[in-house]
Structure formats: structure tokens, C-alpha cells
Amino acid sequence: MERFMKVYSYLPLEERKLTVLVMDGEPISWARAYKEIRDKTGLGDKILRKMAEKDII
């Protein structure tokens, strides 16, 4: 989560609206990822794993 927050904090506001990855055919924006990760949901855990796997964070 710390790596995600570090990257997210440097993103311009407009870029946070852009899709960062697609999970199960559904686009996930930076803002959506932030919300899911912040709320510690199951989807948030999957997003973190996928972003680390793809070297996004």
C-alpha cells in the first residue's frame, strides 16, 4: 500500500481519472484503485497484487 500511495500522490489530478489496468474485463482508474485500496477491500488487494506484478508500483 505504501508504494501505491507514493506513486498516487505524485500523479496529476487529471491522470488519476485514467485507466491504470483492466481486471476481469473492467477498467480500473487510479482513483478507483485508490478508493478500493484505502477501504481495504478484496478488490483493493487484487489491484495491489496486479500492479506490483506488472511493475506499476
**15-48, pLDDT tens digit by residue?**
999 999 999 999 999 999 999 999 999 999 999 9
33-42's contacts with Cβ under 8 Å and 24+ in sequence apart are 33/4, 33/8, 34/4, 34/8, 37/1, 37/4
Residue whose C-alpha cell reads 501505491 in the numeric block: 4
pTM assigned to the model: 0.88
1 pLDDT band, cuts 50/70/90, is confident
